[in-house]
Amino acid sequence: MPRPLVKEDLLKLRFVSAPELSPCGERVAFVLTHIDEKTEEYRSYIYMQPVNGGAMHKLTGGGKIENGPKFSPDGKKLAFVSDRSGDKQIFVLDLELGGEARQVTTMRFGATSPTWSPDGRHLAFISRFAQKDTALDLEKARSQQERDEDDKKRHEEPKVIELIKNKADEAMGLLDMKHSHIWLISAEGGKARCLTNGDFEHVDPCWSPCGQDLAFASNRDGDPEFKPYYADIYTVRVATGEIKRITATEGPSSSPIWSPDGRSIAYMGHTGEFYSATLMRVWLISTDGGVPVNLTAQFDRSVGDQTGSDTRYGGGGEALFFSPDGASIYFLASDRGDTHVYHVSPKTHEVLQLTTGHMHVQSMSCSADGKRISLAASAHLYPTDLFLWEHERPLRRLTEVNQALLSEVALSEPDEFWFKGAEGWDIQGWLMKPTDFAPGQKYPLVLEIHGGPHTQYGCTFFMQFQLWANAGYGVVFTNPRGSHGYGQVFADAVRGDYGGGDYQDLMCATDYAAKLPWVDSERLGVTGGSYGGFMTNWIVGHTKRFKSAVTLRSISNWLSFYGVSDIGYTFTEYEILGNPWDNTELLLKHSPISYVKQISTPILIMHAEQDMRCPIEQGEQFYVYLKKLGVKTRMVRFPGANHELSRSGKPKLRLARLGHLLEWFRETL
């Protein structure tokens, strides 16, 4: 008999990411992350998996976090990033000779994103610095004492702020005003040379086939302060450092790749017609510049992985890649709860789906001949594993890293359903029965609401949902309007209408589930994070049908959100379509805090102290208002955590978070 899944099983999970298929296509390097039982900290190391059978084996283990594996063009060496020497630096491992990896960089503020030159003689990489930092400062890595002194200064010295973009959730506070720059170094090590300049971010370096240029994405000539999401594609001549602008668009551009003949560059981006709800597309432009061509204009889906999960750790892989003959460009896209591999023809613009079935492909990598693609993918009943795609052959699973745990615990498989939402729109959802389900009995039900709102729930492993099912709850989760996976009109429908059609969609999902014979309609709970937290706050202010609620990293007041969030001064205008000085009433109309007098549902408020995306004052306001009005409420604050707490936060805090969720619903539902 399988045992119940419990929150402590989080510590037993292993997370696969960053697949890197060797040029010959015979083996896959990847990152495997686990949680150290003693320290309860993440540990990431690089492993190798043969594609034609055989056990995976560990390649690295010298630090705490090692990732970003990249094969040299001949497949004989592997570059990767490791913190074994303190700050993250780039190392190279000789796969033929074996032995210890050799440290290549000694950058003062670390080095990431290694990418090999076509001849295998050099590595381009990214390192951060401010224009005031001298070359001598940057060439020597910091000692532990220097790192400690820098941390002390950051926490104790006054900060002079002149830019509106001065903090970020990923920084868990104020930005250090350093920027990412592209550097070049011999694969044997030595003196590094910076190829970019200025107070701009430079990301996604990619070598031209001839090795003379690097393409990258940056907002060098735009307005990085007030349009932080804008970026264009540039190239830099390696020999001279000459920078050339390739695109000039109103919107983001990223992940440039060169065509095999070196005449064109493909990239991901959009031109901002629907602001943050605009679908990402694949574009192609001549290396001489000109007008870019939207290759996926007729494919009504956003390029990239849009599916959320709480059991993935790390990224990696290739966002785009060309087939060797240049006839196809491969990419990921999310569609109706699944994320798959697609390719598009630069000539005909025809889009074809390569992988099939219900699954969540998170990252990919291709062999040099284009005949094999390695994938990191998950599904409802298993977290991420490695898979191999080959033309006209069934998808092969290469690893089962969590099989030991999954074989001993009870899991509930979600059932897909469709229902009519607001205005008769077709909306997709999933239902999970309790793992101890017995016909004839009635069970409480939890409505889960995703963040974004421009993401999607789908066919991926969600530990939180499985915990609900193992604790005796049914679970319903759905993709209301605003979600990705259903086209541009659907994704854009929430903008300017937060709490309107999206709220009705969620209530229609609840109506559908509440009518099922096994659901106790008197014991309904609701929870969600970020946008899902906003909707939870909104729901309890507009209906009393839910007996309990948990709001996570939520938004309660758009007026204050505008000025305190790291994205507030753009997101509020893009999504609510207003600002505090011209549209005060509009922002209050869409703010859950305006409806607190209508709330009677017991509600647990959970918020991370260093959340810069939805700052904790959003939860604090809601808590104080509810307490003053006599509503049963409780607030749990998580120190040392940001907006990513539920996905990549400290394991100890993630366990505490799950514990408080379960305890609250046991108490109130």
User: Can you spell out the DSSP letters for 559-617?
Assistant: HHHHHHSSSHHHHHHHHT---TTT-HHHHHHT-GGGGGGG--S-EEEEEETT-SSS-HH
Lookup: tokens for 31: 């990152």
**Mean pLDDT lowest for which of 9-18, 166-175, 281-290, 340-349?**
166-175
Tell me the whole-structure pTM to 2 decimals. Answer: 0.96
CB atoms within 10 A of CB 149: 12
Does the pLDDT of residue 137 top 80, yes or no?
no
The whole-number pLDDT of residue 209 equals 98
In one letter, which amino acid is 310?
D
CB atoms within 10 A of CB 248: 13
Does the pLDDT of residue 479 top 80, yes or no?
yes
Catalytic residue (one of 302, 367, 530, 646): 530
Does the pLDDT of residue 135 top 70, yes or no?
no
Average of per-residue pLDDT across 107-132? 95
* CA distances for 273 relative to 249, 451, 574, angstroms: 11, 22, 11
What distance in Å separates the CA atoms of residue 458 and residue 456, rounded to the nearest whole number? 6
Average of per-residue pLDDT across 209-224? 94
Sign, CA torsion 637/643/649/654: positive
Decide if 596 contacts 649 (C-beta within 8 A).
no
Does the pLDDT of residue 87 top 60, yes or no?
yes
Does the pLDDT of residue 136 top 70, yes or no?
no
In terms of phi and psi (left: phi > 0; alpha: psi -120 to 50; beta: otherwise), the region of 36 is beta
Looking at 494-530, list the stretches that DSSP marks H as alpha helix, in order from N- to C-terminal side: 501-514
Average of per-residue pLDDT across 20-33? 98
Residue 643 designated active-site: yes
Does the pLDDT of residue 410 top 70, yes or no?
yes
The percentage of the chain sitting over the pLDDT mark of 70, rounded to a whole number, equals 99
Does the pLDDT of residue 171 top 80, yes or no?
yes
Nearest to 429 by CA among 491, 513, 497: 513
CA 662 to chain centre: 25
In terms of phi and psi (left: phi > 0; alpha: psi -120 to 50; beta: otherwise), the region of 508 is alpha
Decide if 402 contacts 384 (C-beta within 8 A).
no
Does the pLDDT of residue 139 top 80, yes or no?
no
Decide if 139 contacts 106 (C-beta within 8 A).
yes
Nearest to 593 by CA among 552, 635, 624, 633: 624
For residue 547, what are the contacts with CB-CB under 8 A and spacing of at least 6? 522, 523, 524, 525, 601, 602, 668, 669
Nearest to 538 by CA among 572, 504, 489, 561: 504
Decide if 631 contacts 592 (C-beta within 8 A).
no
Average of per-residue pLDDT across 514-519? 98
Does the pLDDT of residue 177 top 90, yes or no?
no
Domain ranges (residues) in the chain: 412-668
Q: Burial level of 176, CB count in 10 A (0-12/13-18/19+)?
A: middle
CATH superfamily of 412-668: Alpha/Beta hydrolase fold, catalytic domain (3.40.50.1820)
* CA distances for 288 relative to 234, 363, 669, angstroms: 11, 30, 63
What distance in Å separates the CA atoms of residue 36 and residue 487, rounded to the nearest whole number? 42
Residue 181 designated active-site: no
Does the pLDDT of residue 132 top 90, yes or no?
no
* CA distances for 215 relative to 212, 253, 282, 319, angstroms: 10, 12, 16, 15
- Side-chain half-sphere exposure of 555, counting CA atoms within 13 A: 32
What distance in Å separates the CA atoms of residue 344 and residue 355, rounded to the nearest whole number? 14
The whole-number pLDDT of residue 221 equals 84
The string of pLDDT tens digits covering residues 262-288 is 999 999 999 999 999 999 999 999 999
Lookup: tokens for 376: 């990191």
Rounded to 10 deg, the angle between the 531-540 and 501-514 helix axes is 70
Does the pLDDT of residue 84 top 70, yes or no?
yes
Peptide bond connecting 453 to the previous residue in cis, omega within 30 degrees of 0: yes
What distance in Å separates the CA atoms of residue 49 and residue 398, rounded to the nearest whole number? 8
* Location of structure tokens 């937290």: 533
Catalytic residue (one of 255, 380, 643, 646): 643
The whole-number pLDDT of residue 134 equals 67
Tell which wins on pLDDT, 152 or 659.
659
The whole-number pLDDT of residue 345 equals 98
What distance in Å separates the CA atoms of residue 569 and residue 549, rounded to the nearest whole number? 29
- Side-chain half-sphere exposure of 412, counting CA atoms within 13 A: 28
Average of per-residue pLDDT across 46-62? 94
Q: DSSP character for 653? A: H
pLDDT bracket for residue 140 (50, 70, 90): confident
Average of per-residue pLDDT across 627-639? 98
pLDDT bracket for residue 133 (50, 70, 90): confident
> What average pLDDT is seen over the chain?
96
